[in-house]
Amino acid sequence: MPAANGREALAYLKGGGQAQAILLDLRMPIMDGWAFRRAQRADPAIASIPVIVLSGVADLEGMRDLDAASTFNKPVSLPEMAGAVRRLVDSDAGSFRA
């Protein structure tokens, strides 16, 4: 389910919406990806949903602090990102890192 911002995504997930993985852009309006990830990690009901970060932010070290399953700098290679999503969904999410 696409969400225009982090607040919309949280409302969906907290409202019972399901997700096997989250593709997260760090620069979104209303609630950015950093704030979304903090809120997601603080909520035990949705904290375990793995996240793939997509961003134009050049701070790779800061992105590592997000504890994402995978990170991609923009522009993103669609085949590489699709492969990461496929591996994540097909694997034990807790052990996947790309």
- Alpha carbon distance 57, 45 (integer Å): 28
CB contact burial 74-93 (16+ within 10 A = b; e otherwise): eebeeeebeebbeebeeeee
pLDDT at residue number 98: 42
Residue 23, pLDDT above cutoff 70: yes
Domains (range + CATH), the chain: 6-90 (3.40.50.2300)
With cut-offs at 50, 70 and 90, classify the pLDDT of residue 92. low
Using the structure block, give the residue that is written with the tokens 């790779």: 60
Average pLDDT over every residue of 7-25: 91
pTM beyond 0.75, yes or no: yes
Cβ contact 43:49 at 8 Å = no
For the chain, the distance separating the N- and C-terminal CA atoms, rounded to the nearest angstrom, is 23
* 19/27: higher pLDDT: 19
pLDDT at residue number 60: 59
Residue 58, pLDDT above cutoff 70: no
